[in-house]
């Protein structure tokens, strides 16, 4: 056991948070997957639990491996991975919207192993690393808006343009996080205002084009509009079926909840093990349990700020904010959807919801954060060694 902890580096609190969320996830996932088990006819919920366990094991493998990589390597890796991500996003668009009748507009199938993978989540992590790298190179320098167009904003809008037709919510979150990151990185606000205006104009142009030529992007814009309409029109029960069931689950939970595995609405709520798992958590563990889960994510946010503050370079600071903040933001969006503070987005609850891609990319991002904090630990030990040269000499002898 000591050898395991010896090889684990980085912020111990973040490690603990990851472990707590992963262990806790088995309860709501196992409970909520019962509707999927009966939907597929065999009623066996254990296989969904085993699948979730396998996803977490691979996720922790990614987490451990990535946190061992020196964080400055991600500068070069982001530049190498960005073209690969763009090619993968193009492949997804080329494969069409369905494969054998199933929605394939967000997924790509890995050959031989038969695993499906949502490329947009990988694109988000790679893009945030790339933006952090670029911002670190212009820190303290005077740059014109024209100088930043090609190296910074062209890759951003290429990635967003390829994700947008199939996944508006993910594209919107990525854009919001990029804007926040460049603002924190000291990018001139007057240039940022131009980008925000341009983004709104391009989105409007896309919506108009999609409505004028519906065969180009079948059903996507209509889906966005129907979700917004159902969010605004509280009386539209049929369109707001998911939210209605989620609110019923929350109302049933009360203060302390019905107890683990005793959710009723899991049998009626679509995506109860992924997009709406927070509603099941409230129903089974009550408001107290739901608040504890929220506080854990807020504690993660606090530790991200601490790691970023202690980081020794601008790239490290921006890297932690860029890859870490979207995790907390996604969690808050998922919770806001469940309590009808936000339209339905399809965003999962990081490290708790079922789904391999979400778990793996969350672990990838947190591995990068832990890599930064691990480097800080090494630097701190070196500083202490310099302050105590006699101790170092005695250990050497």
The position carrying tokens 């902890």 is 5
Give 283-310 pLDDT, tens digit per residue: 999 999 999 999 999 999 999 999 999 9
The H or E element spanning position 350 is none
Of the segments 171-180, 252-261, 383-392, which one has the largest average pLDDT value? 171-180
pLDDT higher than 60, residue 101 = no
Give 49-96 pLDDT, tens digit per residue: 888 999 999 999 999 999 999 999 999 999 999 999 999 888 887 765
Q: Give the DSSP per-residue string, 53-105.
A: HHHHHHHHHHHHHHHTS-TTHHHHHHHHHHHHHHHHHHHHHHT-SEETTEE-S
Cα 95 from Cα 132, distance rounded (Å): 31
Tokens of 109: 């199938």
Q: Which residue has the higher pLDDT, 146 or 96?
A: 146
Say how many Å lie between the first and final Cα of the chain, rounded. Answer: 28
Percent of the chain topping pLDDT 70: 80
What pLDDT score does 97 carry? Answer: 47
Average the pLDDT over each of 103-112, 113-122, 128-137, 308-317 and give the range with the smallest value. 103-112
Give 4-18 pLDDT, tens digit per residue: 667 788 899 999 999
Q: What is the DSSP letter of 125?
A: H
The position carrying tokens 């993910």 is 170
110 CB neighbour count, 10 Å cutoff: 9
What pLDDT score does 396 carry? Answer: 40
What pLDDT score does 47 carry? Answer: 82
Cα 7 from Cα 59, distance rounded (Å): 17
The position carrying tokens 């001139």 is 188
Which has the closest alpha carbon to 315: 177, 82, 126, 131?
Answer: 131
Contacts of 119 (CB under 8 A, 6+ apart): 85, 88, 89, 92, 106, 107, 108
pLDDT, mean over the chain:
83
Average the pLDDT over each of 12-21, 69-78, 174-183, 251-260 and give the range with the smallest value. 251-260
pLDDT higher than 90, residue 212 = no
How far is CA 211 from its chain centroid? 30
83 CB neighbour count, 10 Å cutoff: 11
pLDDT higher than 80, residue 237 = no
Please say whether the beta carbons of 333 and 342 come within 8 A: yes
The position carrying tokens 């104009």 is 201
Domain ranges (residues) in the chain: 2-396
- Residues 345-368 have a mean pLDDT of 91
* Phi-psi group of 182: left, alpha or beta (phi > 0 → left; psi -120 to 50 → alpha; rest → beta): alpha
What pLDDT score does 393 carry? Answer: 41
> What residues form DSSP beta bridges with 274?
none
Tokens of 170: 């993910």
What pLDDT score does 167 carry? Answer: 81
Tokens of 108: 């790509």
Under the banding of pLDDT at 50, 70 and 90, the label for residue 227 is low
Which has the closest alpha carbon to 370: 65, 52, 157, 25?
Answer: 65
314 CB neighbour count, 10 Å cutoff: 17
pLDDT higher than 80, residue 217 = no
């Amino acid at each position: 056991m000591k050898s395991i902890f010896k090889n684990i580096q980085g912020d111990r609190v973040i490690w603990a948070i990851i472990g707590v969320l992963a262990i806790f996830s088995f309860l709501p996932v196992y409970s909520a997957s019962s509707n999927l088990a009966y939907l597929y006819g065999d009623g066996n919920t254990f296989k969904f639990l085993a699948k979730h366990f396998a996803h977490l094991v691979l996720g922790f493998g990614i987490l451990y491996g990535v946190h061992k990589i020196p964080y400055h390597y991600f500068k070069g890796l982001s530049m190498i991975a960005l073209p690969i991500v763009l090619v993968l996003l193009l492949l997804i668009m080329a494969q069409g919207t369905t494969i054998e009748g199933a929605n394939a507009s967000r997924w790509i199938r890995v050959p031989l192993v038969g695993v499906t993978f949502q490329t947009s989540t990988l694109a988000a992590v790679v893009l945030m690393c790339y933006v952090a790298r670029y911002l670190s190179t212009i820190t303290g320098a005077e740059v014109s808006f024209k100088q930043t167009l090609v190296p910074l904003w062209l890759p951003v809008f290429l990635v967003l343009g390829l994700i947008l037709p199939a996944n508006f919510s993910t594209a919107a979150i990525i854009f919001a996080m990029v804007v926040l990151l460049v603002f924190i990185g000291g990018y001139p606000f007057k240039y940022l205002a131009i980008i925000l205006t341009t983004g709104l104009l391009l989105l409007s142009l896309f919506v108009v084009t999609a409505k004028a030529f519906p065969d180009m992007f079948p059903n996507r814009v209509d889906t966005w509009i129907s979700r917004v309409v159902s969010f605004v029109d509280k009386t539209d029960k049929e369109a707001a079926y998911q939210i209605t069931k989620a609110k019923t689950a929350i109302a049933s939970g009360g203060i302390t909840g019905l107890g683990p595995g005793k959710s009723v609405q899991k049998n009626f709520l679509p995506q109860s093990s992924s997009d709406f798992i927070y509603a099941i958590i409230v129903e089974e563990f009550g408001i107290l349990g739901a608040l504890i889960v929220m506080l854990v994510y807020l504690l993660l946010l606090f530790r991200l700020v601490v790691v970023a503050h202690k980081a020794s370079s601008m790239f490290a600071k921006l890297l932690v904010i860029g890859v870490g903040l979207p995790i907390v933001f996604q969690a808050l969006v998922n919770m806001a959807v469940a309590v009808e503070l936000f339209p339905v987005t399809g965003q999962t609850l990081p490290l708790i919801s079922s789904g391999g891609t979400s778990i793996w990319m969350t672990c990838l991002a947190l591995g990068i954060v832990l890599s930064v904090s691990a480097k800080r630990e090494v630097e701190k030990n070196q500083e202490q060694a310099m302050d105590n040269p006699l101790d170092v000499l005695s250990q050497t002898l």
